[in-house]
Chain A
Amino acid sequence: MKKYTDTGKKDTRSGFGDGLTELGRKNPNVVALCADLVGSLKMQDFIDENPERFFQVGIAEANMIGIAAGLTIGGKIPFAGTFANFATGRVYDQIRQSVAYSDKNVKICASHSGVTLGEDGATHQILEDIGLMKMLPGMTVINTCDYNQTKAATLAIAEHQGPVYLRFGRPKVANFTPADEEFQIGKAVHLLEGNDVTIIATGHLVWEAIQAAEQLAEKGISAEVINIHTIKPLDEEAVLASVKKTGCVVTAEEHNYLGGLGESIARTLVKNHPAPQEFVATNDAFGESGTPEQLLEKYGLNAEAIVKASVKVISRK
Protein backbone atom coordinates (compact mmCIF):
# COMPACT_ATOMS: atom_id res chain seq x y z
CA MET A 1 0.00 0.00 0.00
CA LYS A 2 1.37 3.36 -1.05
CA LYS A 3 2.36 5.58 1.88
CA TYR A 4 1.58 9.27 2.10
CA THR A 5 3.58 11.43 4.46
CA ASP A 6 2.56 14.68 6.05
CA THR A 7 5.49 16.97 5.32
CA GLY A 8 4.33 19.45 7.96
CA LYS A 9 0.95 20.97 8.71
CA LYS A 10 0.06 24.03 6.68
CA ASP A 11 -3.15 25.88 5.91
CA THR A 12 -4.65 25.69 2.44
CA ARG A 13 -5.27 29.46 2.49
CA SER A 14 -1.50 29.98 2.61
CA GLY A 15 -1.29 27.85 -0.52
CA PHE A 16 -3.66 30.33 -2.13
CA GLY A 17 -1.69 33.34 -0.87
CA ASP A 18 1.63 31.94 -2.07
CA GLY A 19 0.13 30.93 -5.40
CA LEU A 20 -1.26 34.43 -5.85
CA THR A 21 2.13 35.96 -5.06
CA GLU A 22 3.74 33.77 -7.70
CA LEU A 23 1.04 34.71 -10.20
CA GLY A 24 1.69 38.37 -9.46
CA ARG A 25 5.26 37.90 -10.59
CA LYS A 26 4.55 35.94 -13.74
CA ASN A 27 1.24 37.24 -15.09
CA PRO A 28 0.81 41.02 -15.33
CA ASN A 29 -2.92 40.65 -16.02
CA VAL A 30 -3.63 39.04 -12.67
CA VAL A 31 -5.29 41.46 -10.24
CA ALA A 32 -6.69 40.80 -6.78
CA LEU A 33 -9.61 42.07 -4.74
CA CYS A 34 -10.51 41.58 -1.12
CA ALA A 35 -13.38 42.55 1.16
CA ASP A 36 -11.50 43.46 4.33
CA LEU A 37 -9.93 40.04 4.96
CA VAL A 38 -6.43 40.45 3.55
CA GLY A 39 -4.75 38.79 6.52
CA SER A 40 -7.14 35.85 6.58
CA LEU A 41 -6.71 35.27 2.85
CA LYS A 42 -2.89 35.62 3.02
CA MET A 43 -2.88 38.26 0.27
CA GLN A 44 -0.39 40.70 1.81
CA ASP A 45 2.66 39.56 -0.19
CA PHE A 46 0.81 40.05 -3.48
CA ILE A 47 -0.29 43.50 -2.31
CA ASP A 48 3.23 44.51 -1.24
CA GLU A 49 4.64 43.51 -4.60
CA ASN A 50 1.75 44.78 -6.74
CA PRO A 51 -0.03 47.61 -4.91
CA GLU A 52 -1.52 49.00 -8.13
CA ARG A 53 -3.03 45.62 -8.98
CA PHE A 54 -4.87 45.20 -5.69
CA PHE A 55 -8.35 46.55 -4.92
CA GLN A 56 -9.49 46.75 -1.31
CA VAL A 57 -13.28 47.02 -1.55
CA GLY A 58 -14.11 47.07 2.13
CA ILE A 59 -16.96 45.10 3.64
CA ALA A 60 -18.99 45.14 0.44
CA GLU A 61 -18.89 41.75 -1.23
CA ALA A 62 -21.60 42.44 -3.80
CA ASN A 63 -19.63 45.41 -5.06
CA MET A 64 -16.46 43.30 -5.08
CA ILE A 65 -18.00 40.68 -7.36
CA GLY A 66 -19.28 43.37 -9.72
CA ILE A 67 -15.93 45.17 -9.84
CA ALA A 68 -14.20 41.85 -10.52
CA ALA A 69 -16.58 41.23 -13.44
CA GLY A 70 -15.83 44.71 -14.78
CA LEU A 71 -12.07 44.26 -14.50
CA THR A 72 -12.24 41.36 -16.94
CA ILE A 73 -13.40 43.91 -19.52
CA GLY A 74 -9.99 45.23 -20.39
CA GLY A 75 -8.32 41.84 -20.12
CA LYS A 76 -7.62 41.56 -16.40
CA ILE A 77 -7.83 38.24 -14.53
CA PRO A 78 -9.36 39.10 -11.16
CA PHE A 79 -8.94 36.93 -8.06
CA ALA A 80 -11.61 38.01 -5.58
CA GLY A 81 -11.02 36.71 -2.07
CA THR A 82 -13.14 36.49 1.05
CA PHE A 83 -14.66 33.85 3.34
CA ALA A 84 -16.62 31.15 1.50
CA ASN A 85 -19.86 32.24 3.15
CA PHE A 86 -19.54 35.83 1.92
CA ALA A 87 -18.11 34.72 -1.44
CA THR A 88 -21.18 32.68 -2.37
CA GLY A 89 -24.45 32.87 -0.43
CA ARG A 90 -24.21 36.57 0.24
CA VAL A 91 -23.55 37.42 -3.41
CA TYR A 92 -25.24 34.62 -5.31
CA ASP A 93 -27.18 36.92 -7.59
CA GLN A 94 -24.14 39.07 -8.38
CA ILE A 95 -22.17 35.95 -9.31
CA ARG A 96 -25.12 34.60 -11.27
CA GLN A 97 -25.78 37.67 -13.41
CA SER A 98 -22.55 39.67 -13.57
CA VAL A 99 -20.11 36.72 -13.61
CA ALA A 100 -21.60 33.38 -14.67
CA TYR A 101 -24.35 34.48 -17.08
CA SER A 102 -22.06 37.20 -18.41
CA ASP A 103 -19.27 34.60 -18.81
CA LYS A 104 -16.66 36.70 -17.06
CA ASN A 105 -13.21 35.37 -16.31
CA VAL A 106 -13.49 35.90 -12.56
CA LYS A 107 -11.79 33.67 -9.98
CA ILE A 108 -13.80 33.56 -6.76
CA CYS A 109 -11.37 32.51 -4.05
CA ALA A 110 -13.09 31.33 -0.90
CA SER A 111 -11.30 30.65 2.35
CA HIS A 112 -12.68 29.44 5.69
CA SER A 113 -15.07 26.99 4.08
CA GLY A 114 -16.82 24.27 6.05
CA VAL A 115 -16.94 23.64 9.79
CA THR A 116 -13.15 23.75 10.24
CA LEU A 117 -13.38 27.50 10.39
CA GLY A 118 -13.97 26.60 14.01
CA GLU A 119 -14.88 28.90 16.86
CA ASP A 120 -16.62 31.64 14.85
CA GLY A 121 -19.55 29.26 14.50
CA ALA A 122 -22.38 28.66 12.08
CA THR A 123 -22.83 32.22 10.80
CA HIS A 124 -19.43 31.87 9.15
CA GLN A 125 -19.35 28.12 8.38
CA ILE A 126 -20.95 27.67 5.00
CA LEU A 127 -21.80 24.07 4.12
CA GLU A 128 -23.88 24.88 1.04
CA ASP A 129 -21.40 26.69 -1.18
CA ILE A 130 -20.40 23.79 -3.42
CA GLY A 131 -24.05 23.24 -4.23
CA LEU A 132 -24.68 26.91 -4.92
CA MET A 133 -21.70 27.23 -7.19
CA LYS A 134 -22.02 23.95 -9.07
CA MET A 135 -25.58 24.81 -10.07
CA LEU A 136 -24.39 27.86 -12.00
CA PRO A 137 -23.98 27.07 -15.71
CA GLY A 138 -20.36 27.41 -16.82
CA MET A 139 -18.90 27.63 -13.32
CA THR A 140 -15.87 25.48 -12.53
CA VAL A 141 -15.86 24.33 -8.88
CA ILE A 142 -12.64 23.30 -7.16
CA ASN A 143 -12.04 22.24 -3.54
CA THR A 144 -8.39 21.58 -2.76
CA CYS A 145 -7.02 19.24 -0.10
CA ASP A 146 -3.74 20.69 1.13
CA TYR A 147 -1.27 23.56 0.84
CA ASN A 148 0.58 22.24 -2.19
CA GLN A 149 -2.57 21.46 -4.12
CA THR A 150 -4.14 24.82 -3.32
CA LYS A 151 -1.06 26.65 -4.54
CA ALA A 152 -1.00 24.59 -7.73
CA ALA A 153 -4.72 25.15 -8.28
CA THR A 154 -4.33 28.90 -7.83
CA LEU A 155 -1.73 28.94 -10.59
CA ALA A 156 -3.81 26.67 -12.83
CA ILE A 157 -7.04 28.64 -12.69
CA ALA A 158 -5.30 31.77 -13.98
CA GLU A 159 -4.68 29.86 -17.21
CA HIS A 160 -8.29 28.71 -17.45
CA GLN A 161 -10.67 30.99 -19.38
CA GLY A 162 -13.98 31.28 -17.51
CA PRO A 163 -15.42 31.69 -14.04
CA VAL A 164 -13.97 29.53 -11.28
CA TYR A 165 -14.94 28.92 -7.65
CA LEU A 166 -11.85 27.90 -5.66
CA ARG A 167 -12.67 26.64 -2.16
CA PHE A 168 -10.13 26.23 0.62
CA GLY A 169 -9.92 26.54 4.39
CA ARG A 170 -8.55 28.02 7.56
CA PRO A 171 -6.85 25.34 9.72
CA LYS A 172 -3.39 23.90 9.36
CA VAL A 173 -3.76 20.42 7.92
CA ALA A 174 -1.46 17.70 6.61
CA ASN A 175 0.50 18.70 3.52
CA PHE A 176 1.06 15.51 1.56
CA THR A 177 0.60 16.04 -2.19
CA PRO A 178 3.84 16.47 -4.16
CA ALA A 179 4.91 20.10 -4.41
CA ASP A 180 5.65 19.66 -8.10
CA GLU A 181 2.37 17.94 -9.01
CA GLU A 182 0.66 19.64 -11.92
CA PHE A 183 -2.90 20.68 -11.20
CA GLN A 184 -5.22 19.51 -13.96
CA ILE A 185 -8.67 21.04 -13.71
CA GLY A 186 -11.32 18.34 -14.02
CA LYS A 187 -8.93 15.44 -13.55
CA ALA A 188 -9.32 13.08 -10.58
CA VAL A 189 -6.20 12.09 -8.64
CA HIS A 190 -5.88 8.40 -7.80
CA LEU A 191 -4.20 8.22 -4.41
CA LEU A 192 -4.57 4.53 -3.48
CA GLU A 193 -5.48 1.43 -5.45
CA GLY A 194 -8.01 -0.93 -3.90
CA ASN A 195 -10.70 -3.50 -4.71
CA ASP A 196 -13.37 -3.56 -1.99
CA VAL A 197 -14.61 0.02 -1.80
CA THR A 198 -13.99 3.34 -3.53
CA ILE A 199 -13.55 6.33 -1.25
CA ILE A 200 -14.01 9.60 -3.11
CA ALA A 201 -13.04 12.64 -1.07
CA THR A 202 -12.54 16.34 -1.57
CA GLY A 203 -10.89 19.14 0.42
CA HIS A 204 -9.79 18.54 3.97
CA LEU A 205 -11.36 15.08 3.99
CA VAL A 206 -8.89 13.69 1.46
CA TRP A 207 -6.26 13.23 4.17
CA GLU A 208 -8.91 11.66 6.41
CA ALA A 209 -9.73 9.26 3.55
CA ILE A 210 -6.09 8.17 3.36
CA GLN A 211 -6.08 7.55 7.13
CA ALA A 212 -9.33 5.61 6.77
CA ALA A 213 -7.85 3.42 4.03
CA GLU A 214 -4.94 2.55 6.31
CA GLN A 215 -7.34 1.59 9.10
CA LEU A 216 -9.44 -0.44 6.68
CA ALA A 217 -6.33 -2.28 5.49
CA GLU A 218 -5.78 -3.40 9.07
CA LYS A 219 -9.26 -4.95 8.93
CA GLY A 220 -8.35 -6.66 5.66
CA ILE A 221 -10.40 -4.28 3.51
CA SER A 222 -8.80 -2.89 0.39
CA ALA A 223 -9.94 0.70 -0.29
CA GLU A 224 -9.36 2.73 -3.40
CA VAL A 225 -8.96 6.45 -2.63
CA ILE A 226 -9.64 9.14 -5.19
CA ASN A 227 -9.15 12.85 -4.66
CA ILE A 228 -11.78 14.80 -6.56
CA HIS A 229 -10.47 18.35 -6.37
CA THR A 230 -12.66 19.49 -9.26
CA ILE A 231 -16.30 18.85 -8.44
CA LYS A 232 -17.39 20.49 -11.66
CA PRO A 233 -16.62 19.47 -14.31
CA LEU A 234 -16.54 16.05 -12.69
CA ASP A 235 -14.13 13.36 -13.87
CA GLU A 236 -16.94 10.85 -14.42
CA GLU A 237 -14.69 8.43 -16.25
CA ALA A 238 -12.41 8.00 -13.23
CA VAL A 239 -15.37 7.63 -10.88
CA LEU A 240 -17.08 5.00 -13.01
CA ALA A 241 -13.92 3.00 -13.67
CA SER A 242 -13.24 2.72 -9.97
CA VAL A 243 -16.80 1.92 -8.86
CA LYS A 244 -17.14 -0.68 -11.62
CA LYS A 245 -14.12 -2.35 -10.03
CA THR A 246 -15.07 -2.05 -6.33
CA GLY A 247 -18.87 -2.13 -6.60
CA CYS A 248 -19.54 0.53 -3.95
CA VAL A 249 -18.53 4.02 -2.92
CA VAL A 250 -18.15 6.32 0.05
CA THR A 251 -18.04 10.05 -0.63
CA ALA A 252 -16.45 12.38 1.91
CA GLU A 253 -16.68 16.14 2.05
CA GLU A 254 -16.89 19.02 4.49
CA HIS A 255 -20.26 20.11 3.11
CA ASN A 256 -23.94 19.30 3.32
CA TYR A 257 -24.76 15.98 1.66
CA LEU A 258 -27.43 17.93 -0.23
CA GLY A 259 -25.76 19.67 -3.14
CA GLY A 260 -22.23 18.50 -2.53
CA LEU A 261 -19.68 16.16 -4.10
CA GLY A 262 -21.62 13.08 -2.98
CA GLU A 263 -24.69 14.21 -4.86
CA SER A 264 -22.66 14.70 -8.05
CA ILE A 265 -21.22 11.20 -7.67
CA ALA A 266 -24.67 9.73 -6.98
CA ARG A 267 -26.05 11.33 -10.13
CA THR A 268 -23.18 9.94 -12.18
CA LEU A 269 -23.70 6.44 -10.79
CA VAL A 270 -27.47 6.43 -11.15
CA LYS A 271 -27.16 7.40 -14.80
CA ASN A 272 -24.36 5.00 -15.68
CA HIS A 273 -23.70 2.30 -13.12
CA PRO A 274 -25.95 2.20 -10.04
CA ALA A 275 -24.06 1.13 -6.92
CA PRO A 276 -24.44 1.44 -3.13
CA GLN A 277 -23.17 4.76 -1.79
CA GLU A 278 -22.68 6.19 1.69
CA PHE A 279 -22.28 9.91 2.36
CA VAL A 280 -19.74 11.29 4.80
CA ALA A 281 -21.03 14.86 4.93
CA THR A 282 -23.10 17.08 7.16
CA ASN A 283 -26.70 15.99 7.46
CA ASP A 284 -28.71 19.06 6.40
CA ALA A 285 -27.42 20.98 9.40
CA PHE A 286 -25.71 24.21 10.35
CA GLY A 287 -22.38 24.04 12.16
CA GLU A 288 -21.49 25.54 15.56
CA SER A 289 -18.56 26.81 17.60
CA GLY A 290 -15.74 24.48 18.58
CA THR A 291 -12.26 23.48 17.53
CA PRO A 292 -11.91 22.07 14.01
CA GLU A 293 -11.13 18.59 15.41
CA GLN A 294 -14.14 18.64 17.73
CA LEU A 295 -16.40 19.75 14.92
CA LEU A 296 -15.11 17.16 12.46
CA GLU A 297 -15.79 14.51 15.07
CA LYS A 298 -19.21 15.77 16.13
CA TYR A 299 -20.43 16.11 12.53
CA GLY A 300 -18.95 12.76 11.47
CA LEU A 301 -16.38 14.12 9.06
CA ASN A 302 -13.19 12.23 9.93
CA ALA A 303 -11.31 9.00 9.21
CA GLU A 304 -13.35 7.09 11.76
CA ALA A 305 -16.60 8.11 10.04
CA ILE A 306 -15.19 7.10 6.65
CA VAL A 307 -14.19 3.67 8.02
CA LYS A 308 -17.70 3.13 9.41
CA ALA A 309 -19.31 4.22 6.16
CA SER A 310 -17.01 1.91 4.20
CA VAL A 311 -17.87 -1.13 6.27
CA LYS A 312 -21.55 -0.32 5.91
CA VAL A 313 -21.45 0.25 2.16
CA ILE A 314 -19.57 -2.99 1.56
CA SER A 315 -22.32 -4.84 3.44
CA ARG A 316 -24.88 -3.36 1.04
CA LYS A 317 -23.19 -4.72 -2.10
Chain B
Amino acid sequence: MDIKQLENFATQVRRDILRQVHKVDSGHPGGSLGCTEFFTALYQEVMQHNPEFNMDGIGEDLFFLSNGHISPVFYSVLARSGYFPVEELNTFRLINSRLQGHPTTHEGLPGIRVASGSLGQGMSVAIGAAQAKKLNKDSHLVFTLHGDGELQEGQNWEAIMYAAGNKVDNLISTIDLNGQQIDGSTDNVLPMGNLRAKFEAFGWDVLEIENGNDLKQVINGLNEAKARTGKGKPVCILMHTEMGHGVDFMMHTHAWHGKAPNDEQLEKALAQNPETLGDY
Protein backbone atom coordinates (compact mmCIF):
# COMPACT_ATOMS: atom_id res chain seq x y z
CA MET B 1 0.00 0.00 0.00
CA ASP B 2 1.19 3.52 -0.68
CA ILE B 3 0.98 6.14 2.02
CA LYS B 4 -2.27 7.60 0.72
CA GLN B 5 -3.94 4.19 0.83
CA LEU B 6 -2.66 3.63 4.34
CA GLU B 7 -4.00 7.02 5.42
CA ASN B 8 -7.38 6.12 3.95
CA PHE B 9 -7.26 2.85 5.85
CA ALA B 10 -6.53 4.74 9.08
CA THR B 11 -9.38 7.17 8.46
CA GLN B 12 -11.81 4.30 8.01
CA VAL B 13 -10.50 2.69 11.19
CA ARG B 14 -11.26 5.94 13.04
CA ARG B 15 -14.83 5.84 11.75
CA ASP B 16 -15.10 2.22 12.90
CA ILE B 17 -13.84 3.13 16.37
CA LEU B 18 -16.30 5.99 16.74
CA ARG B 19 -19.26 4.01 15.44
CA GLN B 20 -18.48 0.98 17.63
CA VAL B 21 -18.38 2.94 20.88
CA HIS B 22 -21.30 5.18 19.92
CA LYS B 23 -23.60 2.26 19.24
CA VAL B 24 -23.21 0.76 22.70
CA ASP B 25 -22.54 4.06 24.48
CA SER B 26 -19.41 2.61 26.06
CA GLY B 27 -15.83 1.68 25.29
CA HIS B 28 -12.55 3.54 24.94
CA PRO B 29 -12.23 5.84 21.93
CA GLY B 30 -9.38 8.08 23.16
CA GLY B 31 -6.49 5.62 23.19
CA SER B 32 -7.94 3.79 20.20
CA LEU B 33 -7.87 6.93 18.05
CA GLY B 34 -4.37 7.75 19.29
CA CYS B 35 -3.03 4.34 18.22
CA THR B 36 -4.77 4.10 14.85
CA GLU B 37 -1.60 4.82 12.87
CA PHE B 38 0.33 2.25 14.92
CA PHE B 39 -2.17 -0.54 14.25
CA THR B 40 -2.48 0.42 10.59
CA ALA B 41 1.28 0.40 10.12
CA LEU B 42 1.71 -2.86 12.01
CA TYR B 43 -0.97 -4.92 10.30
CA GLN B 44 -0.88 -3.34 6.83
CA GLU B 45 2.82 -2.76 6.40
CA VAL B 46 5.27 -4.04 9.00
CA MET B 47 4.23 -7.43 10.39
CA GLN B 48 4.39 -10.69 8.50
CA HIS B 49 1.16 -12.25 9.65
CA ASN B 50 -1.47 -14.68 8.51
CA PRO B 51 -5.20 -13.87 8.78
CA GLU B 52 -5.83 -17.63 8.45
CA PHE B 53 -5.49 -17.53 12.16
CA ASN B 54 -3.51 -20.20 13.96
CA MET B 55 -3.10 -19.82 17.72
CA ASP B 56 0.48 -21.12 17.77
CA GLY B 57 1.57 -18.53 15.21
CA ILE B 58 4.58 -20.50 14.08
CA GLY B 59 6.25 -18.93 11.03
CA GLU B 60 4.70 -15.49 11.46
CA ASP B 61 5.14 -12.32 13.51
CA LEU B 62 2.88 -12.02 16.56
CA PHE B 63 1.24 -9.05 18.22
CA PHE B 64 0.00 -8.75 21.80
CA LEU B 65 -2.16 -5.85 22.96
CA SER B 66 -1.50 -5.34 26.66
CA ASN B 67 -3.76 -2.32 27.18
CA GLY B 68 -6.83 -4.26 26.13
CA HIS B 69 -9.26 -1.39 26.63
CA ILE B 70 -8.34 0.03 23.23
CA SER B 71 -10.10 -2.96 21.69
CA PRO B 72 -12.09 -0.85 19.16
CA VAL B 73 -8.96 -0.05 17.13
CA PHE B 74 -7.70 -3.65 17.45
CA TYR B 75 -11.03 -5.09 16.26
CA SER B 76 -11.34 -2.67 13.36
CA VAL B 77 -7.81 -3.34 12.10
CA LEU B 78 -8.12 -7.12 12.53
CA ALA B 79 -11.42 -7.15 10.64
CA ARG B 80 -10.14 -4.93 7.86
CA SER B 81 -6.98 -7.05 7.65
CA GLY B 82 -9.04 -10.17 6.95
CA TYR B 83 -9.27 -11.87 10.33
CA PHE B 84 -13.08 -11.78 10.56
CA PRO B 85 -16.00 -10.14 8.71
CA VAL B 86 -16.06 -6.35 8.99
CA GLU B 87 -19.83 -6.49 9.66
CA GLU B 88 -19.06 -8.21 12.95
CA LEU B 89 -17.90 -4.82 14.30
CA ASN B 90 -21.64 -4.24 14.68
CA THR B 91 -21.60 -6.67 17.63
CA PHE B 92 -18.98 -4.82 19.70
CA ARG B 93 -19.80 -5.19 23.42
CA LEU B 94 -23.19 -6.77 22.72
CA ILE B 95 -24.43 -9.94 24.37
CA ASN B 96 -23.27 -13.18 22.64
CA SER B 97 -20.54 -11.33 20.74
CA ARG B 98 -16.97 -12.41 20.03
CA LEU B 99 -16.03 -8.72 20.36
CA GLN B 100 -15.94 -8.46 24.13
CA GLY B 101 -15.35 -5.11 25.85
CA HIS B 102 -11.77 -6.24 26.34
CA PRO B 103 -10.21 -8.76 23.94
CA THR B 104 -10.32 -12.43 24.80
CA THR B 105 -9.52 -15.81 23.32
CA HIS B 106 -12.53 -17.16 25.14
CA GLU B 107 -15.01 -16.39 22.36
CA GLY B 108 -12.65 -17.60 19.65
CA LEU B 109 -12.16 -14.31 17.83
CA PRO B 110 -9.39 -14.82 15.23
CA GLY B 111 -6.35 -12.64 15.88
CA ILE B 112 -6.55 -12.67 19.67
CA ARG B 113 -3.95 -14.85 21.40
CA VAL B 114 -4.45 -13.84 25.01
CA ALA B 115 -7.03 -11.96 27.02
CA SER B 116 -6.05 -8.47 28.12
CA GLY B 117 -7.77 -5.76 30.07
CA SER B 118 -6.44 -6.27 33.56
CA LEU B 119 -3.37 -4.15 32.90
CA GLY B 120 0.29 -4.99 32.99
CA GLN B 121 0.25 -8.61 31.84
CA GLY B 122 0.94 -8.40 28.12
CA MET B 123 4.69 -8.08 28.13
CA SER B 124 5.18 -11.24 30.19
CA VAL B 125 3.00 -13.22 27.80
CA ALA B 126 4.85 -11.79 24.81
CA ILE B 127 8.18 -12.77 26.34
CA GLY B 128 6.94 -16.35 26.68
CA ALA B 129 5.81 -16.36 23.06
CA ALA B 130 9.15 -14.87 21.99
CA GLN B 131 11.04 -17.57 23.87
CA ALA B 132 8.86 -20.26 22.34
CA LYS B 133 9.84 -18.84 18.93
CA LYS B 134 13.49 -19.22 19.82
CA LEU B 135 12.95 -22.82 20.96
CA ASN B 136 11.10 -23.49 17.71
CA LYS B 137 13.93 -21.86 15.72
CA ASP B 138 11.35 -19.48 14.29
CA SER B 139 13.05 -16.20 13.39
CA HIS B 140 9.85 -14.15 13.35
CA LEU B 141 9.25 -11.32 15.80
CA VAL B 142 6.88 -10.55 18.65
CA PHE B 143 5.37 -7.07 18.93
CA THR B 144 3.50 -5.58 21.88
CA LEU B 145 1.67 -2.38 22.70
CA HIS B 146 1.31 -0.91 26.19
CA GLY B 147 -0.32 2.21 27.55
CA ASP B 148 1.99 4.62 29.36
CA GLY B 149 -0.23 4.65 32.44
CA GLU B 150 -0.10 0.87 32.33
CA LEU B 151 3.58 1.00 33.22
CA GLN B 152 2.46 1.85 36.75
CA GLU B 153 1.70 -1.87 37.13
CA GLY B 154 4.71 -3.55 38.72
CA GLN B 155 4.56 -6.72 36.64
CA ASN B 156 5.83 -4.70 33.67
CA TRP B 157 9.08 -4.02 35.46
CA GLU B 158 9.52 -7.71 36.27
CA ALA B 159 9.10 -8.36 32.58
CA ILE B 160 11.34 -5.48 31.48
CA MET B 161 14.10 -6.77 33.76
CA TYR B 162 13.64 -10.35 32.59
CA ALA B 163 13.62 -9.56 28.86
CA ALA B 164 16.93 -7.72 29.04
CA GLY B 165 18.51 -10.21 31.45
CA ASN B 166 17.61 -13.09 29.16
CA LYS B 167 18.41 -11.33 25.87
CA VAL B 168 14.90 -11.62 24.48
CA ASP B 169 15.97 -9.77 21.35
CA ASN B 170 13.08 -10.88 19.13
CA LEU B 171 10.69 -8.64 21.06
CA ILE B 172 9.62 -5.09 20.13
CA SER B 173 7.54 -3.40 22.82
CA THR B 174 5.90 -0.08 21.98
CA ILE B 175 4.75 2.28 24.71
CA ASP B 176 1.88 4.58 23.75
CA LEU B 177 3.05 7.82 25.33
CA ASN B 178 -0.08 9.93 25.30
CA GLY B 179 0.44 11.20 28.82
CA GLN B 180 -3.16 10.53 29.84
CA GLN B 181 -4.97 8.03 32.02
CA ILE B 182 -8.50 7.81 33.41
CA ASP B 183 -8.04 10.14 36.35
CA GLY B 184 -6.01 12.73 34.49
CA SER B 185 -2.53 13.24 33.08
CA THR B 186 0.05 10.60 33.97
CA ASP B 187 2.10 13.38 35.55
CA ASN B 188 -0.74 14.19 37.91
CA VAL B 189 -1.80 10.64 38.71
CA LEU B 190 1.64 9.11 39.19
CA PRO B 191 4.66 10.66 37.48
CA MET B 192 6.74 7.99 35.76
CA GLY B 193 9.91 10.02 35.32
CA ASN B 194 12.26 9.49 32.43
CA LEU B 195 11.00 6.34 30.73
CA ARG B 196 13.79 6.32 28.17
CA ALA B 197 16.39 6.36 30.93
CA LYS B 198 14.48 3.67 32.81
CA PHE B 199 14.28 1.28 29.86
CA GLU B 200 17.92 1.91 29.00
CA ALA B 201 18.97 1.35 32.59
CA PHE B 202 17.14 -2.00 32.47
CA GLY B 203 19.18 -2.92 29.38
CA TRP B 204 16.80 -2.27 26.49
CA ASP B 205 17.57 -0.70 23.13
CA VAL B 206 15.25 2.34 23.01
CA LEU B 207 14.09 4.43 20.09
CA GLU B 208 11.43 7.11 19.88
CA ILE B 209 8.72 7.99 17.43
CA GLU B 210 8.24 11.73 17.81
CA ASN B 211 4.81 11.76 16.21
CA GLY B 212 2.96 8.48 16.54
CA ASN B 213 0.06 9.92 14.56
CA ASP B 214 2.22 10.35 11.47
CA LEU B 215 2.03 7.13 9.49
CA LYS B 216 5.40 7.56 7.81
CA GLN B 217 7.11 8.12 11.13
CA VAL B 218 5.40 5.09 12.65
CA ILE B 219 6.36 2.83 9.74
CA ASN B 220 9.93 4.09 9.79
CA GLY B 221 10.13 3.67 13.54
CA LEU B 222 8.80 0.11 13.45
CA ASN B 223 11.18 -0.80 10.62
CA GLU B 224 14.08 0.73 12.51
CA ALA B 225 13.08 -1.34 15.55
CA LYS B 226 13.00 -4.49 13.40
CA ALA B 227 16.51 -3.72 12.21
CA ARG B 228 17.67 -3.53 15.82
CA THR B 229 16.34 -6.99 16.78
CA GLY B 230 18.63 -10.00 17.04
CA LYS B 231 21.39 -7.99 18.68
CA GLY B 232 21.09 -9.25 22.24
CA LYS B 233 18.65 -6.63 23.53
CA PRO B 234 14.87 -6.31 23.54
CA VAL B 235 13.74 -3.20 21.67
CA CYS B 236 11.48 -0.50 23.11
CA ILE B 237 9.72 2.14 21.07
CA LEU B 238 8.57 5.21 22.96
CA MET B 239 5.80 6.43 20.70
CA HIS B 240 4.40 9.91 21.35
CA THR B 241 0.74 10.10 20.41
CA GLU B 242 -2.24 12.33 21.01
CA MET B 243 -5.14 10.63 22.74
CA GLY B 244 -8.25 11.16 20.63
CA HIS B 245 -6.25 12.06 17.53
CA GLY B 246 -8.33 12.75 14.45
CA VAL B 247 -11.31 14.23 16.28
CA ASP B 248 -10.63 17.82 17.31
CA PHE B 249 -12.80 17.89 20.41
CA MET B 250 -11.41 14.60 21.72
CA MET B 251 -7.79 15.77 21.66
CA HIS B 252 -5.72 17.46 24.39
CA THR B 253 -7.76 15.95 27.21
CA HIS B 254 -8.19 12.67 29.07
CA ALA B 255 -11.97 13.11 28.97
CA TRP B 256 -12.48 10.65 26.10
CA HIS B 257 -10.41 7.85 27.58
CA GLY B 258 -13.48 5.79 28.31
CA LYS B 259 -16.49 7.78 27.11
CA ALA B 260 -18.57 7.39 23.97
CA PRO B 261 -19.83 10.30 21.84
CA ASN B 262 -23.55 11.10 21.69
CA ASP B 263 -25.41 11.35 18.35
CA GLU B 264 -24.42 14.93 17.70
CA GLN B 265 -20.81 14.40 18.71
CA LEU B 266 -20.61 11.32 16.52
CA GLU B 267 -21.83 13.29 13.53
CA LYS B 268 -19.21 15.97 14.12
CA ALA B 269 -16.47 13.37 14.61
CA LEU B 270 -17.40 11.39 11.51
CA ALA B 271 -17.44 14.58 9.43
CA GLN B 272 -13.77 14.96 10.29
CA ASN B 273 -13.09 11.38 9.10
CA PRO B 274 -14.87 10.81 5.80
CA GLU B 275 -15.74 7.28 4.67
CA THR B 276 -12.92 5.75 2.60
CA LEU B 277 -13.31 1.96 2.50
CA GLY B 278 -17.00 1.72 3.21
CA ASP B 279 -18.71 1.62 6.60
CA TYR B 280 -19.77 -1.78 7.94
Contact = CB atoms under 8 A, between A and B. Distances in A.
25 contacts: A31-B135, A53-B135, A58-B161, A66-B122, A66-B124, A66-B127, A67-B127, A69-B124, A70-B124, A70-B126, A70-B130, A71-B132, A72-B132, A73-B56, A73-B62, A73-B129, A74-B138, A76-B135, A78-B128, A94-B121, A97-B115, A101-B106, A102-B106, A103-B105, A104-B114
A100 to B, nearest CB: 9
A181 interface: no
A55 B158 contact: no
A101 B159 CA distance: 21
Contact of B159 (A66, A76, A102, A103): A66
Interface of A: 31, 52-53, 55, 57-58, 60, 62-76, 78, 93-94, 96-98, 101-104
B128 A70 contact: yes
Contact of B105 (A93, A96, A102): A102
B98 interface: no
B113 to A, nearest CB: 5
Interface string B101-124: 000111000000111111001111
Contact of B121 (A73, A74, A97): A97
B43 interface: no
Contacts, number: 120
Interface centre among A52, A65, A67, A96 (most CB of B within 10 A): A67
B133 interface: yes
Nearest to B103: A102
B270 interface: no
Nearest to B156: A63
B202 interface: no
| A interface secondary structure, majority | helix
A60 B158 contact: yes
B158 A62 contact: yes
Given A69-B128, A70-B132, 5 more contacts: A73-B128, A74-B133, A93-B118, A98-B121, A98-B125
B115 A98 contact: yes
Interface residues of B, number: 38
B155 A70 contact: no
A75 B115 contact: no
A70 B131 contact: yes
Nearest to A56: B166
Nearest to A55: B131
A53 B124 CA distance: 17
B180 to A, nearest CB: 24
Interface string B154-193: 1100110110011000000000000000000000000000
Contacts of A62: 121, 124, 154-155, 158
B129 A98 contact: no
Contacts of B96: none
Contacts of B94: none
Contact of B162 (A67, A71, A94, A104): A67
B194 interface: no
B128 A75 contact: no
A70 B121 CA distance: 10
Contacts of B131: 55, 67, 70-71
B58 interface: yes
Given A73-B62, A74-B56, A98 B127 contact: no
Contacts of A67: 124-125, 127-128, 131, 159, 162
B57 interface: yes
Nearest to A106: B128
A67 B166 CA distance: 12
Contacts of A60: 155, 158, 161-162
Nearest to A33: B128
The 8 closest A-B pairs by CB, nearest first: A70-B128, A66-B124, A74-B132, A63-B158, A60-B158, A67-B128, A70-B125, A70-B129
